[in-house]
Amino acid sequence: MRGSDIRLPRPANGLTARHGLARVLSRMGMCSRSEAVRRIMAGRVRLNGVVVGDPEAPVDPGVDRIEVDGMAAHASERVCIALNKPRGLVVTASDERGRETVYALLADADLPWLAPVGRLDKASEGLLLLGNDPAWAARITDPASHVAKTYRVQVRGVPEPATLRRLLAGVIDRGERLSAESVRVTGGGETNSWLEIVLREGRNRQIRRMLAACGHDVLRLMRVAIGAVELGDLPKGAWRRLTEAEIDGLGGVGPDSGGGERRVKRSTAGRRSRSPLPANPHRVP
């Protein structure tokens, strides 16, 4: 990003008090925190006209003037996007092992720095949200918010009804109780099955661990919805901006998970209907 293109989001991003300079630059949407540290250490950042070499230098974004490469930072709008993550990419700004990251898909996009909202592991695919509003991201990822995440999962074997009930009741793995909000079998054959699993918590590799504890290997795992935001027919590797209605609605309950051959649920609370996919997604060549 050129110095003249620097755009920093409004204070609604949660930075209304004094914070470290690197954190401010990152959370304002300019670059990753590690990149901000590098720029500060290289003497490329001025605070109130003075070069600052300390990434932890206290800053009040509403008062202090920040310059990068001689250009003043200016406020920009909140940006939140949905990305269809392919398998094989890692969700990080830079990978110490040299693996390709999801940011390769955004290299030519005219976007401010966007942080991932939650994670998908390298072998998983589907809906990934990114944004430059930390308060919004925290609301989605906070377990207390109970935002539903819906997954399509292909497993080896055919789960018995007792297995589905066990997934709802919870399995113990590494001292953690892992459970699903709802589970249903949507298809399959003699050797494998497709499940729809809804979670309202986000433990590390939770679905894979739950199913392994029940004797079923995961063959494919795809996230298809977060709250009322659906993956829809967004092409693999493509992204689109979320609508304001989608952004504001992501603090609510998840979509209806009715239908299918066999289904068990922990709750019968009403669900918000899913939103249609906006037109003109950004495709990656």
Residue that finishes a domain, picked among 51, 76, 101 = 76
| pLDDT band per the 50, 70, 90 thresholds, residue 12 | very low
* Cβ contact 68:26 at 8 Å: no
Q: Give the count of alpha carbons within 13 A of 124, CB side only.
A: 21
Rg (CA), the chain: 21
Predicted local confidence at residue 74, as pLDDT: 60
Domain that holds residue 66: 3-76
Residue that finishes a domain, picked among 76, 106, 130 = 76
Taken in order 282, 126, 106, 39, the sign of the CA dihedral is positive
Predicted local confidence at residue 274, as pLDDT: 40
Taken in order 199, 203, 209, 210, the sign of the CA dihedral is negative
Residue 141 confidence (pLDDT) above 80 = yes
Residues 45-59: pLDDT tens digits?
999 989 999 989 998
Number of domains in the chain: 2
Structure tokens at 70: 């001689």
Residue 234 confidence (pLDDT) above 70 = yes
Same domain, 90 and 57: no
Residue 28 lies inside a defined structural domain of this protein: yes
Contacts of 102 (CB under 8 A, 6+ apart): 83, 85, 89, 90, 91, 116, 128
Residue 252 lies inside a defined structural domain of this protein: yes
Would strands 125-131 and 80-85 be described as parallel, antiparallel, or unpaired?
antiparallel
| pLDDT band per the 50, 70, 90 thresholds, residue 265 | low
Residue that finishes a domain, picked among 44, 76, 108 = 76
Nearest Cα to Cα of residue 63 among 29, 18, 26, 5? 18
Same domain, 204 and 242: yes
Amino acid at 22: A
> Helices (H), strands (E): how many in the chain?
6, 20
Range 130-149 average pLDDT: 88
- Choose the weakest-confidence range: 27-31, 36-40, 143-147: 27-31
**Residue tagged active-site, from 54, 60, 121, 217:** 121
Nearest Cα to Cα of residue 67 among 110, 24, 108? 24
CA distance 213 to 175: 13
Residue 162 lies inside a defined structural domain of this protein: yes
Clarify whether 121 is annotated catalytic: yes
Nearest Cα to Cα of residue 168 among 218, 214, 220, 124? 214
Highest mean pLDDT of the ranges 116-120, 143-147, 258-262, 281-285 = 116-120
Same domain, 254 and 135: yes
Residue 94 confidence (pLDDT) above 90 = no
